[in-house]
């Protein structure tokens, strides 16, 4: 039986290349991760596929996500590019396919690419569909276009320095799970005094505290790490329960510090 819901934490693979990507995926799966996140733009789908194949974990036990790059949003391009992704990933389907970014300047109408994504789902190329980097208004439009077809997640940047509260709350109100990428703010959480101090109270690292805070909001974190000891620590972070006052302290770290902000990004909320 394939996994039908998003596991509570995933292994992100952004910036992982070659053997680093292969080994990181294999090691994460051996430690108990069952959710692997990649994308066409990461140029590592082939290595991610190798890591899954060599892990010995049955494919049906793994929740695998990829994302369609914004240059592949025309209907035929989207389906063809997903077939290419599946070939690289060495699988006949992914569990979740996301639109990586909304079409810059609405060059491709949302109706076209979300319709194509729904077609890919009906063809069995992907079990679930979702979106990434969509604003509140874009989520509303996507819901309207897809009607009864569920949007499993909106994957957006979430960490203690970018709580992204408006988007997270709006998604959750729409019944869309939020996946949080860059939950460790590319390592910046390690230097934050508040996270260090709260970590000492829990005998945990600042990174673990950041992940526990993300998870406490019902957001699925997808930290990226090549080191098995860090991967294990990230998994263990889900066992940490923060007090209401600790959560409030971390909430106050929000400074709207956005790390992923390319020139084709939408007008953020």
Q: Which residues contact 248 (CB under 8 A, 6 or more apart)?
A: none
Residues noted as catalytic:
42
* DSSP character at residue 92: S
Place of tokens 């899954």: 52
Using CB atoms within 10 A of its CB, is residue 212 exposed (0-12), middle (13-18) or buried (19+)? buried
Instruction: Look at strands 35-37 and 11-12 and give their pairing.
Output: parallel
Phi and psi angles of residue 158, each rounded to the nearest 5 degrees, phi first: -145, 125
H/E element, 220: strand 220-221
d(CA 117, CA 146): 10
H/E element, 146: helix 136-146
Q: Which residues contact 113 (CB under 8 A, 6 or more apart)?
A: 68, 73, 74, 75, 78, 99, 103
As separate numbers, helices (DSSP H) first and strands (DSSP E) second, the chain gives 10, 8
Instruction: Look at strands 153-157 and 177-181 and give their pairing.
Output: parallel
H/E element, 67: strand 63-68
């Amino acid at each position: 039986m394939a996994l039908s819901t998003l596991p509570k934490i995933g292994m992100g693979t952004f910036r992982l290349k070659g053997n680093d990507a292969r080994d990181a995926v294999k090691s994460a799966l051996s430690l108990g991760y069952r959710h692997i996140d990649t994308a066409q733009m990461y140029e590592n789908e082939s290595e991610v596929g190798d890591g899954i194949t060599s892990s010995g974990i049955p494919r049906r036990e793994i929740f695998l996500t990829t994302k369609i790059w914004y240059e592949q949003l025309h209907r035929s391009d989207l389906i063809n590019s997903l077939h290419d992704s599946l070939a690289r990933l060495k699988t006949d389907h992914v569990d979740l396919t996301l639109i990586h970014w909304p079409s810059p300047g609405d060059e491709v109408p949302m109706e076209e690419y979300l319709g194509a994504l729904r077609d890919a789902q009906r063809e069995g190329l992907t079990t679930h569909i979702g979106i990434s980097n969509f604003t509140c208004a874009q989520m509303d439009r996507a819901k309207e276009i897809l009607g009864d077809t569920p949007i499993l997640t909106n994957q957006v940047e979430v960490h203690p320095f970018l709580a992204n509260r408006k988007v997270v709350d709006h998604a959750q109100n729409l019944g869309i799970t939020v996946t949080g990428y860059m939950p460790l703010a590319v390592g910046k959480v390690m230097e934050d005094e508040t996270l260090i101090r709260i970590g000492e109270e829990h005998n945990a690292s600042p990174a673990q505290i950041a992940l526990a805070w993300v998870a406490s909001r019902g957001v699925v974190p997808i930290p990226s790490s090549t080191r098995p000891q860090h991967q294990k620590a990230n998994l263990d972070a889900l066992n940490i329960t923060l007090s209401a006052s600790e959560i409030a302290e971390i909430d106050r770290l929000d400074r709207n510090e956005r790390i992923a902000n390319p020139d084709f990004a939408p007008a953020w909320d």
